């Protein structure tokens, strides 16, 4: 079970944090992995970590908010691996923080491009090649429990993460007859370079609200990537899978 030998997985934002954790889990399960990231030096550093797992991985410079950049990275990925079987649209970020009525139009557009439009840009060529191949496929987007929880000074982040959950449900219906499953992963507070830059009171609050009192680690994210990329998840589609140690259901 969960053997990904012969499969190719694409992970955007795969050069660090949750994306790199996804890539590690996929490699361990036998998949070949392509990572897309904007920063070439971070891509190279990630490949060194992945090389220790004795798998087949490659990195491509890509800005997923730019359709020309996506087209180039997609072509390079297909030339290197010949196919993409699962796609993890993981790239994203918090965007500008602040009260909604004080955000500029550019700030709002930037977070929409980063967390929503980028997913569409990534999915479009992957879906097209899956359908042209007549191959089954898996699409997974990294959302957040912020899609469900109210988070002050982060309306753009919460709204766009909720939007990709809606996109997930729509695509699950749209692509179901093509044997393509589409799901969203909603992490809670996971120890990443980005999350550890948040205020200490926020980190402490997240820890208190987990059922175990323990913050999630990147290793906790590897298994869900393998499961959702494998045939063992074939009857799961259009779902939001929350990985937060109970943070979203724990009483205040």
Residue among 123, 157, 201, 235 flagged as catalytic: 157
**Residues 6+ positions from 201 with CB-CB distance below 8 Å:** none
Give the pair of three-digit tokens for residue 82: 């010949």
Render the burial of 80-101: b for 16+ CB within 10 Å, e for the rest.
ebeebbbbbbbbbebbbbeeee
Coil, strand or helix at 38: coil
Task: Report d(CA 147, CA 164) in Å as an integer.
Answer: 9
Closest-CA residue to 164 (of 65, 90, 80, 223): 90
- Tell me if residue 235 is catalytic: no
- What single DSSP character describes residue 219? G
- What single DSSP character describes residue 238? S
Catalytic residues: 157
């Amino acid at each position: 079970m969960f053997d990904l030998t012969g499969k190719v997985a694409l992970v955007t934002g795969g050069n660090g944090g949750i994306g790199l954790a996804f890539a590690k889990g996929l490699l361990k399960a036998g998949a070949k992995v392509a990572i897309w990231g904007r920063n070439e030096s971070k891509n190279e550093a990630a490949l060194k970590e992945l090389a220790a797992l004795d798998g087949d991985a490659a990195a491509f410079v890509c800005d997923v908010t730019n359709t020309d950049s996506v087209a180039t990275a997609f072509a390079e990925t297909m030339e290197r691996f010949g196919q993409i079987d699962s796609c993890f649209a993981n790239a994203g970020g918090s965007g500008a923080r602040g009260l909604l009525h004080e955000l500029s139009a550019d700030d709002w557009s930037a977070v929409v491009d980063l967390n929503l439009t980028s997913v569409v840009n990534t999915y479009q060529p992957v879906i097209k090649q899956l359908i042209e191949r007549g191959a089954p496929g898996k699409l997974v987007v990294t959302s957040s429990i912020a899609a469900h929880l109210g988070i002050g000074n982060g309306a753009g982040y919460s709204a766009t993460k909720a939007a990709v959950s809606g996109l997930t449900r729509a695509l699950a219906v749209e692509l179901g007859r093509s044997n393509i499953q589409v799901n969203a992963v909603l992490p809670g507070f996971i120890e990443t370079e980005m999350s550890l830059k948040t205020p200490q009171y926020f980190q402490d609050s997240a820890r208190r609200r987990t059922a175990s009192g323990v913050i999630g680690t990147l290793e906790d994210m590897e298994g869900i990537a393998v499961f959702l990329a494998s045939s063992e998840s074939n009857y799961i589609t259009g779902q939001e899978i929350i990985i937060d140690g109970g943070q979203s259901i724990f009483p205040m």
